[in-house]
A and B are shown apart, each in its own frame.
Chain A
């Protein structure tokens, strides 16, 4: 069965990358079809329907005892999502959606559904640093990107507009970065999100603290974190949008008039909700008011007359012509019941195709199609940030469990010559107590109950502990390793007969050494503030790895990157610098899978910038 309708561009996936490309192209007059695997109600952008669906997500979150990132959202048998609750210590296993070959289980998840993983992202919007783009030439490790930071700058500005970034440019004190990094007059669309009370207490003894690492001394800096959540508009910000300049063949930002003021984008279900963060302290997994950006906002602002969306449509493969150089269509299965293996098969055709289904799903679709893989790099170089957590009790009360997940970070170790020996890292200060590493405050309660406490004594004990819980992250950059990869296997399929991802994964000594290094920094920070270190790693826990005889537990960051990397040669990369497959001129790949290296920034902003870059290339190609 073949749908007759033709589109300029067919996009697979409605997460941030697919949404930005769809919005940009539809506003340039191109007809776009989005194929989305998730449920119809998740894509309902009519206020009543959207509110009802979102309230369902919220109620699911409230009543789910395990509040992991995917806990509010439906996990469909017909299009399953990777979930951190499936992670086990002993590999191999195939009991979750991901088939984990090990030796170390891959530690991150994503959401397959309308809006994608932006529904549960934290919202941190850091740009990558100039040296992140040239790891090979600068430090002799990993690979260089096919272009430098300068090329990305204007696309970062578009991404910061689209997401709606709140932040203070002047406070971004970053290693090895000059004033041209943002440009002297640049401001973010909105003022910075206030830093937490806890940040202030910790910064007293941490900002400007001198720490020793590998025989060198470093001065710790603390800076406010730019975030994709609404605050007060910055009156100096004059940009009003992004549009296609046909004559110049380029995307351009345009300004509003003198009286123009940036308007925060509200929730999709109520124009008077979400215009400013309300301090729900649940950005991951769900912002109840949608003050935090999600990709549904971008889809809602696409040119609707040029946009068609097919929901409950799970793509199985792309079709190639006889020469294998051209994509002729996309095959998908349309279901009506998310728990049944009943579907109808369809093929849809367009001029250009974009896979934007996440790094893991994109690799899976390409491998299933025998497409784009002359370099043998499809599925390889799977990366994530390895999040080593350290936690302790502060001498004075810092009142965590309030505000956005993180409002301050330590950028000091994001770049430096140490990258020749071990990875760089960023250290966000965490506002949510020990929730992540220990399951507090539930475990705070169970610890007290185990001591026989009850009544007023129990209240007092919990109060003393809960108000002093401090958590620090060391998000270490994983570098590309061809053996960390997504593959497919006939043995492992879901109920629609689509492949499940098979993951092989390990952590190199280059990363493990960073755990050792960051632990020495953590101890110095804790000591300077008189924080009683309560960090404990259990060697039998999942993702607990050894280095120099010591065990370090890492968590996934949800930053799934690198399975179809971009490069300057078809020999060792899957896509060109416009994210067009070297092997197929009319197939573009979108999302974090394009990133050759990860840097130390949460990758969503970079993914969004890259989406604008490839949208520009798609428009050029359509008009040539």
Chain B
């Protein structure tokens, strides 16, 4: 599969995993950075089978519910694809990527933008500390107003 097609698939996969739609994810400006980051950080064979499994999920399931069920069954279990799905969610949510395990684990934030575009801050109805500041006194009211 060519990178252009794979990138489209990566966007679709990211949307299912993060709960944000493809347009929202492109809007962070991180899509291509993360696509190439995941390519570079993941073993080729494992990555190929991960994409292949997702293609299957999208081919055989139409509704969101069915896709979610299939993802829960075949993608999310920890033993599947070396925990790649969780790593991609963490990359989108926090801008972080961890290599290795236990005491050898090392966590990276690929770029300053990766941290600033962390989706978790949107979920908490706030902003990443130190960036996208909401202005003087904004903290004194609910973020719903």
Contact = CB atoms under 8 A, between A and B. Distances in A.
Which of A65, A397, A442, A467 gathers the greatest number of chain B CB atoms within 10 Å?
A65
Interface in B94-139: 94, 96, 107-112, 114-116, 120-121, 123-127, 129-131, 133-139
A442 B89 CA distance: 12
A62 B126 contact: no
B85 interface: yes
Contacts of A61: 130
A501 B115 CA distance: 35
B53 interface: no
Interface stretch (A168-176, A451-459, A504-512, A532-540): A451-459
A97 interface: no
Contacts of A401: 121, 124, 126, 129
A124 to B, nearest CB: 16
A401 B138 CA distance: 12
A309 interface: no
A529 interface: no
A427 B16 CA distance: 43
Nearest to A460: B19
Interface residues of B, number: 47
Interface in A392-407: 397, 399-404, 407
B135 A278 contact: yes
B112 A63 contact: yes
Nearest to A196: B139
Interface stretch (B27-35, B36-44, B68-76): B68-76
Given A197-B140, A442-B94, A462 B123 contact: yes
Given A62-B109, A445-B90, A449-B90, A459 B19 contact: yes
A432 interface: yes
Contacts of B141: 197
A454 B85 contact: yes
A454 B89 contact: yes
A59 B115 CA distance: 10
Contacts of B130: 58, 61-62, 280-282, 286, 288
A22 to B, nearest CB: 29
A375 interface: no
A281 B127 contact: yes
B130 to A, nearest CB: 4
**How many interface residues does chain A have, given as a range?**
35 or more
A194 interface: yes
Interface in A251-285: 276-282
Contacts of A281: 126-127, 129-130, 133, 139
B17 A454 contact: yes
B129 A445 contact: no
Given A288-B131, A442-B96, A278 B136 contact: yes
A359 interface: no
Contacts of B112: 58-59, 62-63
Interface string B5-49: 000000000001111100000000000000000000000000000
A393 B127 CA distance: 20
Contacts of B129: 67, 280-282, 401, 432
Contacts of B136: 231, 276-279
A441 interface: yes
Contacts of B131: 62, 280, 288
A402 B94 contact: no
Contacts of B111: 63
Nearest to B96: A65
B22 to A, nearest CB: 13
A231 B139 CA distance: 14
Nearest to B115: A62
B90 A462 contact: no
B127 to A, nearest CB: 7
A202 to B, nearest CB: 14
B135 to A, nearest CB: 6
Contacts of A399: 124-126, 142-143
B107 A65 contact: yes
A569 interface: no
A64 interface: yes
Given A61-B130, A279-B136, A462-B120, A452 B19 contact: no
3 nearest A-B residue pairs (beta carbon): A403-B139, A282-B130, A62-B112
25 contacts: A58-B112, A61-B130, A63-B115, A200-B140, A231-B136, A276-B136, A279-B137, A279-B139, A280-B131, A281-B126, A288-B131, A289-B133, A397-B142, A399-B125, A403-B138, A403-B139, A433-B124, A441-B121, A449-B86, A452-B72, A454-B85, A455-B68, A459-B123, A466-B120, A466-B124
Interface of B: 16-20, 68, 71-72, 76-77, 85-86, 89-90, 93-94, 96, 107-112, 114-116, 120-121, 123-127, 129-131, 133-143
Interface of A: 58-59, 61-65, 67, 194-197, 200, 231, 276-282, 286, 288-289, 397, 399-404, 407, 431-433, 441-442, 444-446, 449, 452, 454-459, 462-463, 466-467
Given A281-B139, A446-B90, A459-B19, 17 more contacts: A62-B131, A63-B112, A64-B109, A279-B133, A280-B130, A281-B129, A401-B129, A402-B143, A445-B120, A449-B89, A454-B85, A455-B71, A457-B68, A458-B19, A459-B18, A462-B123, A463-B125
